[in-house]
């Protein structure tokens, strides 16, 4: 497990520990294994390098259907934005503990996307106000989850499963199963164009605008909230042991409710981005296929978030999102037609199982909080 801000896991750090006379110093192999398993960010960076190197080689050797070059890698980050944001939403919810998970993020994105479509596309609200409305609707839908889980004691799995049902159904029925794609909405596509970074345009490729307008602010705010505020400390505390947190004066229910509200709010912002990306507010934007919740949970788990709560870091989640995005982008080029999208399913499933087994093994061997 990645180094946790909690004392339970400090033994899992990689720093040299004073050897007791009875113990033999661990060999180099054991030390490397421990470093790889306990430093999730290191592992992810290594995997990203491997993926990029392998795909570039395949591209160089001409096995891919298109070039896997720097521009393609940068362009693929258009898909990174919604994935990474929803994975951060899952991070906050899963860290809050007591089986915390949010299966409804995709359907919240669908429903608040439709509301955004109405506000911006049909009622001609100003863009800023419409985005604020989408965020508020998302937060309200998240608050329903939070009330069920934190105050009424519903298991998060079943509460968010039920609201997944309900929200996606409303999103489809609200506009007679039709997407909203008026001129205003279609023109939003320009928001996802790629831009040059000022001053570095000749060195770095153009990066999709959404990375700066949506993803970076979310990452910074979530990181600050988790690591530099009292709220963050409380969240990790209730995720680790909510009885202990109660006795140390934390309002457990309110803290947990807030986690679900945050997840809903982020999903509402994702809805705006997806609407711009598809130039249309689609009623099934977050639920078509296997939906957005599954990749988001996969990325969170791969990023080292413990499903039991209390453990997980922003940096791990962002790196995992980059890994999945660039892996998916590469797989798409390895096959003709829709074989690629199918292989992505396999990759996502296999990565999730592998990451979960790895997390469980690491926790048992080095973390010991199970």
CB of 226 to another protein, least distance (A): 22
Largest CA distance in the chain: 75
Which tokens in the block code for residue 251? 């309002």
**According to the binding rule CB under 8 A, does residue 334 interact with another protein?**
no
**According to the binding rule CB under 8 A, does residue 158 interact with another protein?**
yes
Closest by alpha carbon to 81, among 306, 292, 262, 261?
292
Residue from 5, 13, 155, 340 that binds another protein (CB under 8 A)?
A: 155
| Stretch of residues binding another protein (CB under 8 A), selected from 32-40, 76-84, 171-179, 242-250 | 171-179
- Among residues 151 and 212, whose Cβ is nearest to another protein? 151
| Stretch of residues binding another protein (CB under 8 A), selected from 57-65, 85-93, 235-243, 343-351 | 343-351
Residue from 68, 120, 164, 236 that binds another protein (CB under 8 A)?
A: 164
Cα distances (angstroms) measured from residue 95 to each of 19, 48, 240, 343, 357: 33, 25, 8, 30, 18
Q: Cα separation of 330 and 308, whole Å?
A: 32
Residue from 33, 42, 132, 161 that binds another protein (CB under 8 A)?
A: 161
The values of phi and psi at residue 56, to 5°, are -65, -40
**According to the binding rule CB under 8 A, does residue 170 interact with another protein?**
yes
Cα distances (angstroms) measured from residue 330 to each of 10, 243, 300, 323, 370: 37, 46, 21, 11, 36
- Among residues 159 and 180, whose Cβ is nearest to another protein? 159
Is residue 230 within 8 A of residue 60, CB to CB? The reply is: no
Residue from 69, 307, 315, 334 that binds another protein (CB under 8 A)?
A: 307
**According to the binding rule CB under 8 A, does residue 152 interact with another protein?**
yes
**According to the binding rule CB under 8 A, does residue 349 interact with another protein?**
yes
- Among residues 180 and 215, whose Cβ is nearest to another protein? 180
Non-local CB neighbours of 323 within 8 Å, separated by 6+ positions: 44, 47, 48, 51, 302
**According to the binding rule CB under 8 A, does residue 350 interact with another protein?**
yes
**According to the binding rule CB under 8 A, does residue 173 interact with another protein?**
yes
CA-angle at 59, arms to 56 and 65, nearest 5°? 140
| Stretch of residues binding another protein (CB under 8 A), selected from 125-133, 207-215, 261-269, 347-355 | 347-355
- Among residues 101 and 245, whose Cβ is nearest to another protein? 101
Neighbour-count burial of 338, counting CB atoms closer than 10 A to its CB (0-12 exposed, 13-18 middle, 19+ buried): exposed
| Total number of residues that touch another protein (CB under 8 A) | 43
Which tokens in the block code for residue 194? 């790629």
- Among residues 276 and 302, whose Cβ is nearest to another protein? 302
| Stretch of residues binding another protein (CB under 8 A), selected from 31-39, 50-58, 159-167, 217-225 | 159-167
Residue from 359, 362, 367, 369 that binds another protein (CB under 8 A)?
A: 359
Neighbour-count burial of 132, counting CB atoms closer than 10 A to its CB (0-12 exposed, 13-18 middle, 19+ buried): middle
CB of 233 to another protein, least distance (A): 25
Strand partners, 54: none
Residue from 168, 255, 267, 277 that binds another protein (CB under 8 A)?
A: 168
Q: Name the CA dihedral angle for 81, 128, 89, 107, rounded to a multiple of 10 degrees.
A: -90
By CB under 8 A, name the binding residues for another protein.
101, 148, 152-155, 157-159, 161-166, 168-170, 172-173, 176-177, 290, 294, 297-298, 301, 307-308, 342-343, 345-346, 348-350, 352-353, 356-357, 359-360, 364
């Amino acid at each position: 497990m990645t180094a946790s801000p909690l004392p339970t896991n400090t033994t899992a750090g990689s720093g040299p520990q004073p050897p007791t006379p009875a113990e033999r110093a661990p060999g180099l192999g054991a030390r490397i294994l421990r470093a790889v398993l306990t430093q999730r960010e290191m592992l992810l960076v290594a995997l990203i390098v491997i993926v990029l190197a392998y795909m570039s080689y395949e591209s160089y050797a001409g096995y891919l259907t298109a070039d896997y070059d720097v521009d393609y890698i940068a362009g693929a980050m258009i898909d990174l934005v919604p994935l990474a944001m929803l994975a951060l939403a899952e991070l906050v919810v899963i860290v809050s503990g007591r089986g915390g998970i949010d299966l409804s993020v995709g359907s919240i994105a669908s429903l608040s996307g439709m509301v955004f479509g109405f506000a911006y596309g049909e009622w001609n609200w100003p863009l800023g106000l419409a985005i604020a409305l989408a965020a508020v609707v998302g937060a309200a839908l998240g608050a329903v989850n939070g009330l069920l889980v934190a105050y009424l004691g519903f298991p998060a799995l079943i509460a968010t499963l039920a609201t997944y049902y309900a929200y996606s159904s409303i999103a489809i029925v609200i506009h007679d199963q039709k997407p909203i794609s008026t001129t205003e909405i279609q023109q939003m596509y320009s928001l996802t164009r790629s831009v040059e970074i000022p001053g570095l345009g000749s060195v770095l490729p153009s990066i999709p605008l959404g990375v700066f307008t949506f993803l970076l602010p979310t990452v910074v705010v979530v990181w600050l909230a988790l690591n530099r505020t009292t709220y963050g400390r409380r969240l990790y505390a209730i995720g680790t042991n909510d009885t202990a947190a109660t006795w140390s004066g934390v309002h457990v229910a309110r803290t947990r409710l807030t986690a679900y509200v945050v997840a809903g709010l982020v999903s509402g912002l994702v809805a705006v981005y997806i609407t711009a990306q598809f130039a249309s507010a689609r009623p099934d934007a977050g639920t078509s296929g296997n939906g957005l919740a599954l990749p988001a949970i996969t990325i969170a788990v791969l990023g080292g978030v413990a499903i039991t709560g209390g453990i997980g870091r922003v940096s791990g989640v962002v790196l995992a999102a980059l890994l999945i995005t660039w892996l998916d982008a590469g797989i798409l080029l390895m096959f003709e037609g829709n074989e690629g999208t199918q292989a992505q399913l396999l990759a996502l499933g296999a990565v999730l199982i592998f990451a979960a087994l790895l997390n469980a093994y690491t926790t048992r061997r080095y973390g010991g909080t199970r």
